[in-house]
């Protein structure tokens, strides 16, 4: 064997950067069929993914690693199949998140607020922040091996996408699907902006339930009422009771007095009130509670806003004006206690609405905002999934999607932020508004409508980030322009992302895609699970269990991280990432490396040409049958989006079959020299090559590196390495390039079965050696007896002696046992009996026990199988399944009878 110059340990650090640069340099990430290039063929159907654009707020986390691994796998798989493939990269401006970060940053470093800085300056700072973090994140995405076409990279606030956003807004507006008006919305006092329902998260927190008296005017009577937010009492405009409530119905129509303020409000009857809960009477604050808002609307109650944008009490709150909401709560309650209006407080678990971004408690407030009328968009989007035109993987998310779509509410799209797409609406001094693509157009329209030139001011608000995200699959391809890219690459193929943004993003893309392009933006939605820590907890800075993917890659390599994420998960199911698993997969990469190293060395040492044609050995045929089986099942699994299972099977084949068995036998075959060595080297190369191809979508770096080296090694050799530049997927390759040299029907099964017999025999002998404490290097004498497998054993003598460490000089193989040798240890492995003349090691008592144990096991199996075969199983199960069981039964029967004989022979 030639000395290999490659290091014993795979150096992923040295490989990754170089290989990625090489890919980019070669243009591997560009679509093979590109409308921008000569020779474009529009008939070829492409495979397209739009990246879920990472926010420009921060750095890489495992969620990014997950989607890059998944999408890169899909992209590479399709690219290898020869499909023109495009993966569009890009980043998201992430309105609230980014603005918050920048605000914090300037406050910390320059001690100025955004208001002090002013809108223009603030935006300047934000753009430079964006430039910095965009650079970081896109470098990190590359580090993960993402094979996206960087020449087509987009940003949600770039010129083209901003144009798309304006176009979308104007179209919806003109269609009457966008309206503006005062509504009860979720208000984030710290960010001082509206947020959508989806951006509110509820947390279980212990609070107090305050019981107090609602006095009836001109009476000493009162209605007891409970609330969790006493400060909202200041905005009450009614007290509601159930119309059939015997306790309170007499008060309906009466006038109640708001505590402390003594404002007069009506007592009303409404079925919404739950008689069982609290006191059975409800205070109504239409200005600060969604349910009260609806009740208020039913009863035409006035709406009082008691909180301002910073959640401080407004003038309507009388003596409490100017107080913070929580301060007002305390003060008001104390005053009520003093006035004898309080009854009691109880500890109470409630769900507190908090802002997804800022984390502070959001307040329902009346505010003038922009909304999208969503029903007309949601209906076709729901139908698309229901009819199966869009397939969601895993399927059960279809129900989740439907559930949400059926109950969808109008979407509040305006945000009182600076960082984002400004709403394309201008106001005239008289208040009339003009929605247009730009100011010029708005001015013209204003002139037409108002009959004169007027000064216009643009709406100060920006759009919800998700509004632009909803356009992503087509805006990134040039929409609203009918670009070549849009025509060819749209609709995209698969949308891959985490299930946590199914509503935020996926649903909106489907709605907007249908609305604006008339087509579904993709045909498949693949939802991956969330990456959690080892114990299944969400990663969070406060728990301190955040795993940094960069550190993981530094320590174990990108391939190991990717393989762990891909193989450790199943669609839609959260994956608990443990570093131990990553380490195990780093070991796998190293295993690949060393197997590759061995094969390359073997190739170098083997003859360069063959002199004639040789038959395949059992091991050759077996490994080839296995690799074919593996290719077929990988194909099937890839087509069904079961990538994890495919990865597992490839891993097992490579390690347990190829490395542990075939390479070991190949060593013997190579040692024979001549054509046998030529052929073995050839097959080693082929199987390694195919394995690398199957693994490439999972672990692109190590496979690319090995493949390159393998090609180099094969240059002066007539072995069959594919000389094409790009690695293609094995499915077609096996058939086209490497036709099978074995012509007989059923050769795969035949060889798989025979090899299994050989493996079992070797294992049984090794087991016996271990039990008897025979030294690993010590060759032992064995007599093999088998009627059925005589030829097989004879033929595989060499492999057998080497693998089981038998003494070749004293090995005998016979069809029948003429005379049982003295002082032997017998062993039965399926159809083969083995006798070891190891008199020094025989202990008749021990032997008897062992044989009896084996016989007992065999008898149990015979019993089980006989029973099974006596049932309807024999008639109803498929013939192949029945045959299998019958064969097994025969095996156990022959084993049992020879065990019995041996027991007899051993005597007492």
Interacting positions 559-618 with RNA (CB under 7 A): 568-571, 573, 575-576, 578, 580-581, 583-584, 586-587, 589-591, 594-595, 597-598, 601
Does 633 participate in binding RNA (rule CB under 7 A)?
A: no
**Nearest residue to 467 via CA among 516, 434, 519, 433:** 516
Q: Would you state the structure tokens that stand for residue 628, as one six-digit string?
A: 């074919």
What is the C-alpha separation between 464 and 470, in angstroms, rounded?
A: 10
What is the C-alpha separation between 414 and 193, in angstroms, rounded?
A: 9
CB of 273 to RNA, least distance (A): 5
- Residue 173: CB atoms within 10 A of its CB come to 20
Does 536 participate in binding RNA (rule CB under 7 A)?
A: yes
Site for RNA in 255-294 (CB under 7 A): 272-280, 282-283, 290-291
Please identify, using beta-carbon distances, which residue of 652 and 712 lies nearer to RNA: 652
Please identify, using beta-carbon distances, which residue of 422 and 532 lies nearer to RNA: 532
Please identify, using beta-carbon distances, which residue of 230 and 358 lies nearer to RNA: 230
Binding mask 211-250 for RNA (x = CB under 7 A): --------------xxxxx---------------------
Does 888 participate in binding RNA (rule CB under 7 A)?
A: yes
| Contact criterion met (CB below 8 Å) for 79 and 34 | no
Q: 663 exposed, middle or buried (CB, 10 Å; 0-12, 13-18, 19+)?
A: buried
Q: Would you state the structure tokens that stand for residue 233, as one six-digit string?
A: 């009492």
State residue 653 phi and psi, 5-degree precision: -60, -50
Does 5 participate in binding RNA (rule CB under 7 A)?
A: no
What is the C-alpha separation between 437 and 242, in angstroms, rounded?
A: 51
What is the C-alpha separation between 366 and 288, in angstroms, rounded?
A: 7
What is the C-alpha separation between 182 and 373, in angstroms, rounded?
A: 14
Does 197 participate in binding RNA (rule CB under 7 A)?
A: yes
What is the C-alpha separation between 242 and 416, in angstroms, rounded?
A: 39
Does 524 participate in binding RNA (rule CB under 7 A)?
A: no
CB of 620 to RNA, least distance (A): 16
**Residue 559 in 3-state DSSP?**
helix
Does 864 participate in binding RNA (rule CB under 7 A)?
A: yes
What is the C-alpha separation between 600 and 273, in angstroms, rounded?
A: 79
Which segments of 738-843 does DSSP mark as H helices, in order? 747-772, 790-795, 797-804
State residue 365 phi and psi, 5-degree precision: -145, 155
Which segments of 146-253 does DSSP mark as H helices, in order? 159-174
Does 886 participate in binding RNA (rule CB under 7 A)?
A: no
CB of 133 to RNA, least distance (A): 26
Among 881, 883, 886, 897, binds RNA (CB under 7 A): 881
Among 861, 890, 893, 905, binds RNA (CB under 7 A): 861
Please identify, using beta-carbon distances, which residue of 126 and 829 lies nearer to RNA: 829
Among 5, 8, 176, 612, binds RNA (CB under 7 A): 8
Does 205 participate in binding RNA (rule CB under 7 A)?
A: no
**Nearest residue to 806 via CA among 841, 762, 840, 843:** 762
Site for RNA in 664-683 (CB under 7 A): 664, 667
**Nearest residue to 261 via CA among 211, 210, 201, 214:** 214
**CA distances, 46 to each of 84, 153, 230, 492, 523 (Å):** 5, 18, 60, 8, 13
Does 140 participate in binding RNA (rule CB under 7 A)?
A: no
Does 84 participate in binding RNA (rule CB under 7 A)?
A: no
Does 206 participate in binding RNA (rule CB under 7 A)?
A: no
**CA distances, 424 to each of 21, 359, 437 (Å):** 42, 30, 6
What is the C-alpha separation between 883 and 749, in angstroms, rounded?
A: 14
Does 400 participate in binding RNA (rule CB under 7 A)?
A: yes
Whole-number CA gyration radius for the chain: 37
**Length of the chain measured in residues:** 908
| Contact criterion met (CB below 8 Å) for 73 and 516 | no
Sheet strands side by side (includes 178-188): 193-195, 178-188, 363-372, 411-412
Please identify, using beta-carbon distances, which residue of 150 and 503 lies nearer to RNA: 503
Region of 6-14, 79-87, 304-312, 422-430 interacting with RNA (CB under 7 A)? 6-14
Does 1 participate in binding RNA (rule CB under 7 A)?
A: yes
Site for RNA in 503-522 (CB under 7 A): 503
Sequence-ordered strand ranges (E) for 56-132: 85-88, 90-91
Please identify, using beta-carbon distances, which residue of 61 and 667 lies nearer to RNA: 667
Region of 38-46, 152-160, 516-524, 534-542 interacting with RNA (CB under 7 A)? 534-542
**Residue 147 in 3-state DSSP?**
coil
Does 776 participate in binding RNA (rule CB under 7 A)?
A: yes
Please identify, using beta-carbon distances, which residue of 444 and 770 lies nearer to RNA: 770
Does 351 participate in binding RNA (rule CB under 7 A)?
A: yes
Please identify, using beta-carbon distances, which residue of 487 and 537 lies nearer to RNA: 537
Does 386 participate in binding RNA (rule CB under 7 A)?
A: no
| Contact criterion met (CB below 8 Å) for 824 and 842 | yes
CB of 587 to RNA, least distance (A): 3
CB of 576 to RNA, least distance (A): 3
Site for RNA in 739-768 (CB under 7 A): 762-763, 766-767
Among 350, 458, 720, 728, binds RNA (CB under 7 A): 350
CB of 269 to RNA, least distance (A): 13
Does 884 participate in binding RNA (rule CB under 7 A)?
A: yes
State residue 90 phi and psi, 5-degree precision: 170, 175
CB of 193 to RNA, least distance (A): 19
Region of 172-180, 301-309, 816-824, 876-884 interacting with RNA (CB under 7 A)? 876-884
Please identify, using beta-carbon distances, which residue of 88 and 589 lies nearer to RNA: 589
Please identify, using beta-carbon distances, which residue of 771 and 846 lies nearer to RNA: 771
Does 877 participate in binding RNA (rule CB under 7 A)?
A: yes
């Amino acid at each position: 064997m030639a000395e290999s110059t490659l290091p014993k340990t795979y150096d992923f650090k040295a490989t990754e950067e170089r290989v990625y640069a090489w890919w980019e340099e070669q243009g591997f990430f560009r679509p093979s069929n590109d409308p921008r290039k000569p020779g474009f063929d529009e008939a070829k159907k492409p495979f397209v993914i739009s990246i879920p654009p990472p926010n420009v707020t921060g750095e890489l986390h495992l969620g990014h690693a997950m989607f890059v691994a998944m999408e890169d796998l899909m992209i590479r798989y399709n690219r290898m199949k020869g499909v023109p493939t495009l993966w569009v990269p890009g980043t998201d401006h992430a309105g609230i998140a980014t603005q918050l970060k920048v605000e914090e940053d300037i406050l910390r470093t320059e001690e100025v607020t955004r208001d002090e800085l002013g809108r223009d300056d603030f935006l300047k700072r934000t753009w430079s922040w964006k430039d910095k973090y965009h650079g970081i994140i896109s470098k990190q995405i590359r580090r993960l091996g993402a094979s996206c076409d960087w020449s087509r990279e987009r940003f949600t606030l770039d010129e083209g996408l901003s144009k798309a956003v304006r176009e979308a807004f104007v179209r919806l507006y003109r269609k009457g699907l966008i309206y503006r008006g005062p509504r009860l919305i979720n208000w984030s006092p710290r960010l001082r902006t509206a947020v959508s329902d989806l951006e509110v998260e509820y947390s279980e927190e212990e609070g107090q339930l305050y019981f107090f008296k609602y006095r009836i005017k001109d009476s000493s009577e009162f209605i007891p009422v409970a609330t969790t937010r006493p400060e909202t009492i200041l905005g009450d405009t009614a007290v509601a009771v159930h119309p059939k409530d015997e306790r309170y119905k007499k008060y309906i129509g009466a006038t109640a007095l708001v505590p402390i303020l003594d404002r007069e409000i009506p007592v009303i009857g409404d079925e919404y009130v739950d008689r069982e809960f609290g006191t059975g009477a409800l205070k109504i604050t239409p200005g600060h509670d969604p349910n009260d808002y609806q009740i208020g609307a039913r009863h035409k109650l006035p709406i009082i806003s008691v909180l301002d944008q910073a959640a401080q009490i407004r003038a309507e709150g009388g003596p409490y004006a100017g107080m913070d909401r929580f301060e007002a709560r305390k003060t008001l309650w104390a005053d009520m206690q003093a006035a004898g209006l309080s009854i009691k407080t109880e500890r109470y678990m409630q769900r507190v609405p908090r802002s997804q971004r800022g984390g502070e408690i959001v307040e329902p407030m009346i505010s003038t905002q922009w909304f999208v009328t969503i029903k007309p968009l949601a209906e076709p989007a729901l139908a698309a999934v229901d009819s199966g035109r869009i397939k969601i993987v895993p399927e059960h998310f279809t129900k989740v999607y439907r559930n949400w779509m059926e109950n969808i509410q109008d979407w509040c799209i305006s945000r009182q932020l600076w960082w984002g797409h400004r709403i394309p609406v201008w106001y005239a001094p008289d208040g009339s508004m003009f929605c247009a693509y730009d100011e010029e157009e708005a001015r013209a329209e204003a002139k037409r409508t108002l009959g004169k030139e007027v000064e216009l001011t643009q709406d100060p608000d920006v759009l919800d980030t998700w509004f632009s995200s909803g356009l992503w699959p087509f805006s990134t391809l040039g929409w609203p322009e009918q670009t070549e890219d849009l025509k060819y690459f749209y609709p995209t193929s698969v949308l891959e992302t985490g299930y946590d943004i199914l509503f935020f993003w996926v649903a909106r893309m489907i709605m907007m895609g249908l609305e604006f392009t008339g087509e579904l933006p993709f045909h498949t939605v693949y939802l991956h699970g969330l990456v959690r820590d080892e114990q299944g907890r969400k990663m969070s800075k406060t728990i301190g269990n955040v795993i940094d993917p960069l550190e993981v890659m530094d320590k174990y390599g990108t391939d190991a991280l990717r393989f762990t994420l891909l193989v450790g998960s199943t669609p839609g199911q959260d994956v608990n990432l443990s570093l131990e698993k990553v380490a195990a997969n780093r070991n796998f990469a190293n295993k690949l490396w060393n197997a590759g190293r061995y094969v390359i060395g073997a190739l170098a040492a083997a003859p360069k040409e063959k002199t004639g044609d040789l038959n395949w050995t059992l091991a050759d045929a077996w490994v080839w049958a296995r690799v074919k089986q593996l290719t077929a099942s990988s194909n099937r699994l890839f087509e069904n989006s079961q990538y994890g299972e495919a990865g597992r099977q490839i891993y097992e084949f490579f390690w347990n079959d190829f490395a542990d068995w075939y390479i070991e036998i190949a060593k013997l075959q190579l040692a024979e020299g001549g054509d046998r060595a030529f052929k073995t080297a050839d097959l080693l190369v082929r199987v390694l090559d195919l394995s690398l191809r199957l693994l490439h979508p999972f672990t692109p770096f190590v496979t690319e590196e090995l493949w390159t080296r393998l090609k180099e090694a094969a240059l002066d050799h007539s072995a069959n390495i594919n000389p094409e530049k790009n690695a293609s997927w094995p499915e077609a390759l096996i058939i086209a390039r490497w036709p099978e040299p074995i012509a007989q029907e059923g050769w795969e099964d035949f060889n798989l079965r025979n090899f299994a017999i050989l493996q079992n025999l070797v294992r049984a002998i090794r087991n016996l050696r271990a039990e008897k404490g025979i030294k690993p290097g010590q060759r032992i004498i064995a007599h093999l007896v088998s009627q059925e497998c005589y030829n097989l054993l004879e033929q595989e003598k060499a492999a057998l002696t080497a693998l089981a460490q038998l003494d070749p000089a004293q090995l005998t193989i016979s069809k029948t046992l003429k005379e049982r040798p003295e002082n032997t240890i017998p062993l039965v492995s399926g159809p083969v009996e083995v006798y070891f003349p190891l008199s020094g090691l025989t202990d008749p008592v021990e032997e008897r026990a062992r044989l009896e144990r084996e016989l007992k096991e065999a008898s149990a199996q015979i019993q089980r199988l006989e029973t099974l075969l006596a049932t309807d199983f024999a008639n109803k199960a498929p013939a192949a399944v029945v045959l299998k069981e019958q064969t097994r039964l025969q095996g156990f029967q022959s084993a049992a009878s020879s065990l019995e004989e041996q027991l007899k022979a051993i005597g007492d």
